[in-house]
Amino acid sequence: MSTENLYNQEAIEKLKKIVDQIDIGMLGTYPKDSDYIHAIPMSRQEVDEKGNIWFLFSSESETHKHLQDTTKVSLLYSDVRNYSFLSINGEAEINQDRGRIEKYWNKMVEGWFDRGKEDPRIRVLKVVPYEAHYWDTKSSKLITFFKVAARAITGSNIETGEQGDLNL
């Protein structure tokens, strides 16, 4: 696997491509009373032009509680069908931006908030990535398996994909 670190707009585009293709990632927060990360699945609403990742969530959640103590977060995305993976560390910002709630509101979100768009528990979560790393084979799991096997058998330098830092 070759290393290709990406910078600025290329890094944002790679991050957006992987997050959009996978959609649901594990959002990790850091509880002050635990040595371990607390992770939950979250569906992204948007990756904006700066690479920030947006979510809707509840002010009654454990995640919200943890973010009151520290805004440090980690996001992990994995697509095992295509062997694409992404690890992000960043900072969380929470608000109640009515425009974003309106923009992101959909049937899936409605299932979490039984009082509708006006539910006072709805919060907007913005994750600002500070560091990110990706692994991407650009092919299916089966093709990657055959490439790795061929590389092992023949000793030739068959490209199996790329990985690198995303410098946003």
DSSP assignment of the chain equals -EE--EEHHHHHHHHHHHHHHH-EEEEEE--TT-SS-EEEEEE-SEE-TTS-EEEEEETTSHHHHHHHH--EEEEEEEETTTTEEEEEEEEEEEE--HHHHHHH--HHHHTT-TTGGG-TTEEEEEEEEEEEEEEE-SS-HHHHHHHHHHHHHH-------EEEEEE-
- CATH number (3.40.50.1950, 2.30.110.10, 1.10.10.350, 3.40.50.720) of 2-167 reads 2.30.110.10
Instruction: Give me the pLDDT at residue 100, please.
Output: 98
Check residue 152 and give its pLDDT: 53
What's the confidence (pLDDT) of residue 99?
97
pTM of the model: 0.87
Q: Provide the pLDDT for residue 80.
A: 85
- Alpha-carbon distance of 97 to 126, in angstroms, equals 11
At 142 the pLDDT is 46
Which residues neighbour 65 within 8 Å (Cβ) at sequence distance 6 or greater? Answer: 31
**Distance (Å, rounded) from C-alpha 11 to C-alpha 139?**
20
Residuewise pLDDT in 10s, the chain (168 residues): 789 999 999 999 999 999 999 999 999 999 999 999 999 999 999 999 999 999 999 999 999 999 999 999 999 999 988 889 999 999 999 999 999 999 999 999 999 998 999 999 999 999 999 999 999 986 554 444 444 444 455 555 555 578 899 999
Q: What is the pLDDT of residue 164?
A: 94
Distance CA 126, CA 55 (A): 7
